[in-house]
Structure 1
Amino acid sequence: MAESQNKNLPVYAVFFAIIVKLYFLLTHHIQEDAFITWRVAQNLMDYGVIGFNGATKISASTTHLYVFVSYFFNLIFGKENFIEPLLIFNTVLFSIGSLFLSHLLLKNPWHKAIFIFLFGILPPSIKISILGMEYGILFFLEMALLYYGFKKEKRWALLILPVFILFTRIDSVIFLGIVFLVDTFWNRKIKWSYVLGGILGVGVALAFNWFYFGEFINNTIVAKKLRYDNNFTLQQNWDYFRLNYGNFWGMLKLPGDFNPFTILVAVFEMVCFIFIIRQKEQTQRNKFLWMIFIFAWTKQIIFLSQKSLFDWYYWVPQILLFVPVLIFVLEQKEKRNLWLSALIVFYILPMLAFQTVHSIATGNGEWNYRRSIGLYLDLYEKDKKQWILLEPAGYVPYFSGLKTIDEVGLVDKQIQEEIKKDKTNYWMNTVKKREPKYLLSYKDLFSGKDAEYYKSHYKLLKEFRIKDHLSSQNKILEKIYHLKPSGTDYNLYEKIK
């Protein structure tokens, strides 16, 4: 009886980890880009078209599979009530993925249970679970592939799961490629079913893009590359890396351009990894450790080299790089409890506290503040065929319902043409050519070189200031808001009739 209960401990840990993380729903910390995907899903409901602005097709969301999942959640729960069920669904999938990962790396049920829980409450895991992005689904699919395809050697997993993985995110080809290389090197033979699965995955993703959108590469990738393309010198590349590395290898963002904490964590992760893989008797486990560790480093290096600033690209690599630390501590033969206690007290709990503060502050800045701009416009402008030019294209377009031109071109291709013609003046050129009824800007448009044009064609409708949203009747919340204010000041302009 006791042995049977021990076998179920990892499953109990999954439920416990899910329940503990659900309190983050109260913070309303939801990533801006999630609302782009959700608007695309609702556009599919309303117009029968995968797009953002009415009947115009555009791959405005990075992920196709998550668009369809969001579409079904909208159908089932309705537009007003689907968000919380979908976030819970993402959390459940991530937690099941962590169960698969524990089966790959550990044997003792107690170790698996502790691993699942501690792994699940670290900042990247919380963000993958709760922030509304597609990474909960992606992590589940990737870990299912490793567990069923490469541990259980199920042919169906090798054929089908790569298709779903690539349909979730096309850049997950990095993960599939690293897994293929490590497995082939390890076993000295090729899994042809997996090769076929990879070919099917790439074929399905590219064919869907081509036959539906008329493009092979998602518009989001093209737009970001076009807008953020910079030719850096060697010194500028080094300065860029020095200023940003702490955001990607660490689990928290610290102010300043030197983050010794991140270096310490990265070194300890490497030391633990080397210590574990030297255990030659754990041949099968070592293969999976090599897979996830090489993938995590490769993904981060590739995206850093491409100047990818968006932190959600690094959530899965961040959490996978920490896996050897958890295994190292759990498998200590002497003073295990001391090691585990030190890890929890000096790292896990501080990280959880940091993420709690971060989510409360960011949730206030996004949900209470930025959403209020969209709600204001929703009440002010009843004609949802009117256009707004802004950045970013998440909260405000979603809650206002207005047609949208975003600065980057994620949801509108015409502005990309203006960027190609004249990157310096593309905003002004877009305003003159398309005359959107509303402009939402970080800047004061009535000062600067084009001030006279704006003054003669637009009026300042309303100022939105983050300082007006830093108060709360709860003094603890108010202190958090002031400790880490999240949000940007905006000026909203309306076209003069």
Structure 2
Amino acid sequence: MMTGIDNPKLPYYAVIFTVLFKLLFLLTHYIQEDAFITWRVAQNLMDYGVIGFNGDIKISASTTHLYVIISYLFNLVFGKEHFIEPLLIFNSVLFTLGTLLLSHLILKNPLHKALLIFLIGILPPAIKISILGMEYGLLFFLEMAMLYYGFKNHKKWALILFPVLIILTRIDTLIFLGVVFLVDIVYSKKIRWSYILGGFIGLVSIVAFNWFYFGEIVNNTIIAKKLMYGSDYTFAQNVDYFLVNYGNFWGMLKLPDNFNPFTVVVLVFEILCFIYLVRQPEKRNYFLWMIFIFGWVKQLIFISQKSLFDWYYWVPQILLFVPGVIFILEQKTRKYLWLGLFVLFYMIPMLAFQTVHSIATGNGEWNYRRTIGLFLNHYEKDKNQWILLEPAGYVPYFSGLKTIDEVGLVDKEIQNEIKKDRQNYWINTVKKRKPKYLLSYDNLFERKDGAYYTMHYRLLKEFRVKNHLKSSNPLLEKIYILKPSGTDYNLYVRIKD
């Protein structure tokens, strides 16, 4: 039996250890707003038999169909009160299994595989993929499984099945599937018809389902975001936009400054490591080209579309960094010095940053924003009442109220108001639909339409971030104060006419 660093079971031990290590982050309660949108859609399917958000109204409020179904199953098995932790553990396991498959694609040494699994697994985007409740753990696993079983082991069933599941998870995965297709043609000099069939079935399935069930071709979330955030920019404005935002995409750390030298260092390091590796005559170059080109293409496409949401960049960030990890692991001389310096000056600071970020943001989301929803759930017993707010995650989920969100992710009617009069769509929606509750970042009585709000609404309660920066644990309190997370809100209730 092989033992020590040559033990082929090492990568599997690394999977178990990495999952257990990351489960500590569940204690931070850092869960993304959009996860609660998906979970409410899943529970709406349970309660009304309709994929929607507000009762029996059909709407593709979630960006992912497959993850909605998985969330639905977890709700059925564990119940609405207890499904979140099992689902987050499931996501973490799936992502880590994906890194195991990735290690099989690009490394041979069992110790190197184990180290890659752990080092990749504790990167900030990997932690967020695992514990924030969104569909990217599932997606990463499916993408790596397709590469491993379909393109490394040449299983035709994998070339058909996985593209279908990948597209049903997110339609923008066509970028990944397209890059893989082009790189494969260049390398293999042939067309894999099984792969084309899988992509065709997946694309037809998602388009047909959207059309026949929702009456649309692409998900409502895409339409709503394009309507709200789309804008014409000059070339100079596009350049300025890129300079302001790129640091939050390639650098893995979301920093407030426009210029982030850390991002430049990481980017140059990744490129140099990739060039060094692909110059070697290794079979793994086939997969390195796939993941590295995809990382660049995905980031550039989404930046060009003014996509500010950081979860679009998690998987590309990880895949772009893979060559750097390989380079460190495969140093021939002073390898442990290289690895030690890498861990000491990069991995530990990144892990520390993400720990602080997760604790602070978890406090702002779970301990603060969730309390708004819980207050409304207790205050308003009639769950057929409507609330107008933004965003549509925590508060609608925990309040149980029917919801109009400012962007139109969960309600199509407000999109029509945006099209008719973008400047006044908020007040027009209030006048037309008369929601019982309004949740606003500012004082509605001081707006230009303040007289209307004063006549028809009263301030029910103020919610302030500063009231949630205390803890019996002095270390936690210091973190909360160091990085306060959340937004002040005013909650208004309609006065009976």
Alpha-carbon separation, structure 1, partners of 2:217 and 2:447: 40
- Equivalent in the alignment of 1:253: 254
Equivalent position SS for 2:491? strand
Following the alignment from structure 1 to structure 2, what is the Cα–Cα distance between the partners of residues 474 and 292?
A: 43
Which residue is equivalent to 2:75? 74
What is the aligned partner in structure 2 of residue 193 from structure 1?
194
Q: How does 1:310-349 map to 2 (within 5 A)?
A: 310-349=309-348
- Residue 26 of structure 2 corresponds to which residue in structure 1? 25
DSSP-derived class of the 1:405 partner? strand
**Residue 167 of structure 2 is aligned to residue 150 of structure 1:** no
Q: Distance in 1 between matches of 2:153 and 2:356?
A: 41
Question: Aligned pair 1:454/2:456, yes or no?
Answer: no
The one-letter code matched in structure 2 to 1:84 is E
Partner Cα separation in structure 1 for residue 232 and residue 81 of structure 2: 44
Asked if 1:436 corresponds to 2:435, the answer is yes
Q: How does 1:116-265 map to 2 (within 5 A)?
A: 116-265=117-266
TM score, norm. by length of structure 1: 0.99
Counterparts of 1:93 and 1:35, CA distance in 2: 20
State the match for 1:472 in structure 2.
Answer: 471
Q: 1:2 is matched by which residue type in structure 2?
A: M
Give, in whole Å, the separation in 2 of the partners of 1:256 and 1:250.
12
Query: How far does the alpha carbon of each residue in 1:103-162 deviate from its partner, in whole angstroms, 9 at most, with x for none?
Result: 000000010001101110110100011100000000000000000000000000001110
Query: Which residue is equivalent to 2:494?
Result: 495
Where in structure 2 are the equivalents of 1:28-39 lying within 5 Å? 28-39=29-40
Distance 1:285 1:124 in 2: 24
CA distance in 2, matches of 1:314, 1:300: 6
Deviations 1:372-399 (A, max 9, x none): 0000000000000000000000000000
Alpha-carbon distance in structure 2 between the residues aligned to 1:270 and 1:31: 31
AA partner of residue 129 (structure 2): I
CA shift for structure 1 position 200: 0.6
Q: Distance in 2 between matches of 1:116 and 1:244?
A: 29
Distance of 1:480 and 1:229 partners within structure 2: 36
Which amino acid is the alignment partner of residue 160 of structure 2? L
Amino acid at match of 1:487: G
Give 5+ residue unaligned stretches, structure 2. Answer: none
The 2-side partners of 1:176 and 1:205 are apart by: 15
Distance apart, 1:231 and its partner CA: 1.1
Matched to 2:218, the amino acid is I
Q: Secondary structure at the match of 2:446?
A: coil
> 3-state DSSP class of the match of 1:186?
helix
Q: Partners of 2:486 and 2:248 in 1: how far apart?
A: 18
SS in 2 for 1:446: helix
Partner Cα distance (1:448, 1:163) in 2: 49
User: Scaled by the length of structure 2, what TM-score is found?
Assistant: 0.99
The one-character-per-residue Cα deviations of 1:83-119 (angstroms, maximum 9, x if unpaired) are 0000000000000000000000000001000110111
Taking the aligned partners of 2:341 and 2:396, their CA distance within structure 1 comes to 46
Asked if residue 2 in structure 1 is aligned to residue 2 in structure 2, the reply is yes
| 1:371 partner SS | helix
Pairwise CA distance, 1:453? 0.5
1:7 match: secondary structure: coil
**Partners of 2:438 and 2:256 in 1: CA distance:** 31
Equivalent residue letter for 2:198: G
Partner of 2:296: 297
Structure 2 Cα separation of the partners of residues 339 and 390 of structure 1: 50
- Measure how far apart 1:448 and its partner are: 2.2
Letter in 1 for 2:243: R
Structure 1 residue 443: Cα displacement: 1.1
Q: Deviations over 1:10-32 (max 9, x none)?
A: 00000000000000000000000
What amino acid is aligned across from residue 37 of structure 2 in structure 1? I
Give me the whole-angstrom Cα distance separating, in 2, the residues matched to 1:320 and 1:472: 38
**Shift of residue 232, structure 1, vs aligned partner:** 1.3
Aligned partners of 1:231 and 1:211: how far apart in 2? 32
Q: Which residue of 2 aligns with 1:61?
A: 62
> Deviation at 1:3?
5.1
Quick one: distance in 2 between partners of 1:310 and 1:241?
Answer: 14
Which secondary structure state, in structure 2, belongs to the residue aligned with residue 107 of structure 1? coil
Partner SS, residue 217 of structure 1: coil
The alpha carbon displacement at 1:496 in A equals 0.4
**Cα separation, 2, equivalents of 1:285 and 1:210:** 40
Alignment coverage as a number of residue pairs: 495
- Write the distance in 2 (CA, Å) between the matches of 1:3 and 1:336: 21
**C-alpha distance in structure 1 between counterparts of 2:199 and 2:463, whole Å:** 48
Q: Output the CA distance in 2 between the equivalents of 1:475 and 1:418.
A: 48
Tell me how far apart the structure 1 counterparts of residues 222 and 116 of structure 2 sit (CA, whole Å).
Answer: 35
Write the distance in 2 (CA, Å) between the matches of 1:114 and 1:229.
Answer: 42
Shift of 1:256: 1.4
User: What residue is the counterpart of 2:88 in the other structure?
Assistant: 87
Return the letter of the residue paired with 2:31.
Answer: I
CA distance in 2, matches of 1:448, 1:391: 17
- Structure 1 counterpart of 2:41, which letter? V
> How far apart in 2 are the matches of 1:180 and 1:229?
30
* Equivalent position SS for 2:216: coil
State the match for 1:308 in structure 2.
307
Cα RMSD between the aligned structures? 0.8
Separation of aligned partners in 1, 2:197 and 2:100: 27
Counterparts in 2 of 1:407-426, with a 5 A limit?
A: 407-426=406-425
> Stretches of 4+ moved more than 6 A in 1?
none
AA aligned opposite 2:354: Q
Distance 2:337 2:136 in 1: 33
| Identical amino acids, percent of aligned pairs | 73
- 2:382 paired with 1:383: yes
